Structure 1
Amino acid sequence: MDLFLWGILPYVMVAVLVGGTIWRYRYDQFGWTTRSSQLYESRLLRIGSPLFHFGILVVVIGHVAGLVIPKAWTDFFGISDEMYHLAALGLGSIAGFATLVGVGILIYRRRTTGPVFMATTKNDKTMYVVLVAAIVAGLATTVLGVIGPHQELTYRDTVAPWFRSLFVFQPDIAAMSQASLDFQLHTLIGMVLFMLWPFTRLVHAFTAPVHYLFRPYIVYRSRDGRPTTARGIQRGWAPVGTRDRTSDKSAKSVAGGGSTTKKR
């Protein structure tokens, strides 16, 4: 069982994640979307969505740092185990709790808002169940790993070496089999979530509109030709196709003495 769970299943998960993502992009590009429901309800969405997205971003960064950075590196820079676990407890608990509250608000909104609930599919419900389970299991491992009963082996001695060994195709099954049950359960739920990822709305994370943060401003003008913003056009931007037609008409009127003629 250990060979299957920690030596075979991780590569099956990667194959499903990569293959499913490629398949989804090739054959379901129109379905590659979050199916936004902001039109139906926005008050709860404005609260739950930022909490979930910013929380999950910090959680992902924490997982990468904890799993990729070896313990020897933190020891070299003088970071003791107490300092490391205190930072993990503080930052991990805050980010995990924010993520859990955010997804809770989103689920409550989806369940209590009629049009949003009607647009919820069985696929969405399955995704939410696995996602919440992964978040709860992660919070449990963070808290129990610090304030729980003392354990000689932590995830830095078991899960992290096993995770790094997967990239060299020599999975350290013995290390992962010695991990505590809560870490093993969290890891299994995480692998299930990643296998579901390409076939749910979570796939939109692979095409996050990062370029939106760096694109130029769009200049909007009212019908009378005046800018809708009091600041006007800032230096450094070269507006395209925004020539003031009202100014052109005024210039022509002055040049022609203020009179206009029409051809019959």
Structure 2
Amino acid sequence: MANYNEFLWVAFPWLAIAAFVIGIIWRWRTDQFGWTSHSTQIYESKLLRLSSPLFHWGMVFVVIGHLMGLAIPKSWTRSVGISDAVYHAIATYPGTVAGIAALLGLAGLLYRRIVNRSVFLATSTSDKVMYVLLGGAILTGFFATVSLQLFGDAHGYDYRETISPWLRQLLVFNAHPELMVDVPWQFKLHVIAGFTLIAVWPFTRLVHAFSAPVGYTTRPYVVYRSRDTRTGPVKEHVAWEPIRSHTEQLDERNETPSRGA
């Protein structure tokens, strides 16, 4: 087997995973203040309200589809009565819809970031690298799905015979690069793009994906001062008062009863 196959399907994925794990730990220990999405909603919100949910929900279902296809062996789905044809339909059509949603959302976010000057000026170098790699991973995956699974052979390419076992064995340090040799180039390109994105993940704003609001349900209530006028006297703030003559002020003082009366 050629050396580049050993590198692409053994060394490179392990290096990417190591960079991911070490980078996440380093980022958490040294840059918790920067562990955010660096939101730019203050600069523009109309496009963000549309594009962000479309992208994030699309990616949620894309990730779920990847986990089902890569982590669950074919023998398990067959054992519960799911045929290969049914699995192919379940994985392909909803996956295509999720991919379209993620692509449209990403396109909206990119358009917003490029067109809106304030948002563009708030875009860092790491953001630009992240968008390029994120877009590359999504586009290559969508292209592989459409070209091979949707418009390819009747049953598509069975990646559960090659890519899935290759990845599962890779994660337990039992690499079998020969499983990836005959994989279509579309899926190979997607795998490389995906691991490249994983390698740089900790050094971009993508770390906010691991900031689940676990403590939100147990945090104490925030007490605010009530605005109900029935809870107590309310002091009215007068912005301005008309100027009165000195005689009017003296008459008002004379009409006010003295404290000792």
TM-score, length basis structure 1: 0.80
| Number of the residue aligned with 2:69 | 66
Q: Is the contact between residue 127 and residue 205 of structure 2 (CA under 8 Å) also seen in structure 1?
A: yes
* Alignment-mate amino acid for residue 70 of structure 2: L
Alignment CA distance shift 1:16-1:106 (3 Å):
same
Contact 1:32 1:204 in 2 (8 A): yes
Tell me the matched-pair count. 230
Paired residues of 2:10 and 2:175 also in contact (CA < 8 A)? yes
Higher relative contact order (CA 8 A, sep 6+): 2
Confirm or deny that 1:164 pairs with 2:161.
no
- Aligned to 1:31, what secondary structure does the other structure show? coil
State the alpha-carbon separation in 2 of the partners of residues 68 and 167 from structure 1. 11
1:30 Cα deviation after fit: 1.8
Give runs of aligned pairs for residues 182-221 of structure 1, distance below 5 A: 182-212=186-216, 220=224
Give the corresponding residue for 1:174: 178
Cα deviation digits, residues 114-146 of structure 1 (max 9, x gap): 111001112111110111111111111212232
The answer to whether 1:23 aligns with 2:26 is yes
* Structure 1 segment 49-128 matched on structure 2, within 5 A: 49-128=52-131
RMSD: 2.2
Question: Structure 1: 5+ residue runs without aligned partners?
Answer: 227-244, 248-264
Aligned counterparts of 1:214 and 1:59: Cα–Cα separation in 2: 30
Would the alpha carbon gap of residues 72 and 44 (structure 1) be closer, same or farther in structure 2, given more than 3 Å must change? Answer: same
Task: Give the secondary-structure state (helix, strand or coil) at the position aligned to 2:228.
Answer: coil
Match of 1:148 in 2: 152
Q: Which amino acid aligns with 2:57?
A: F
Per the TM alignment, residue 28 of structure 1 is displaced from its structure 2 partner at its CA by 1.8
1:7 alignment partner in structure 2: 10
Instruction: Please state how far the C-alpha of 1:101 moved relative to its aligned partner.
Output: 0.6
Q: 1:178 to 1:151 in 2, by over 3 A?
A: farther
- Contact map agreement 2:58 2:98 (CA 8 A) in 1: yes
Shift of 1:219: 6.4
Alpha carbons 1:88, 1:142 under 8 Å: kept: no
Q: 2:166, 2:176 within 8 Å by CA — same for their partners in 1?
A: yes
Q: CA deviation at 1:9?
A: 1.2
Letter in 2 for 1:161: P
Give the C-alpha shift of residue 211 in structure 1: 4.0
In 1: Cα distance, 2:212 partner to 2:156 partner? 41
Give the secondary-structure state (helix, strand or coil) at the position aligned to 1:35. coil
Query: Contact 1:124–1:201 (CA<8 Å) still a contact in 2?
Result: yes
TM value normalised by structure 2:
0.81
Q: Distance in 2 between matches of 1:70 and 1:167?
A: 15
Aligned pair in 2 of structure 1 residues 103, 246: CA closer, same or farther (>3 Å)? Answer: same
Q: Which amino acid aligns with 1:201?
A: R
Change (3 A) 1:152 1:203: closer
Contact between 1:96 and 1:139, CA under 8 Å: does it hold in 2? yes
Contact 2:148 2:156 in 1 (8 A): no
Q: Please give the alpha-carbon distance, in whole angstroms, between the structure 2 residues aligned to 1:177 and 1:153.
A: 14
> 1:25: Cα distance to partner?
1.4
In structure 1, the residue matched to 2:236 is: none
The runs of at least 4 consecutive aligned structure 1 residues that moved more than 3 Å come to 149-153, 210-222
Larger deviation: 215-224 or 140-149? Answer: 215-224
Please report how far the alpha carbon of residue 62 of structure 1 lies from its aligned counterpart in structure 2 after TM superposition. Answer: 0.7
Alpha-carbon offset, residue 176 of structure 1: 1.5
Q: Is the 8 A contact 2:88 2:155 kept in 1?
A: no
d(CA) in 2 for partners of 1:39, 1:170: 48
Percent identity of the aligned residues?
A: 50
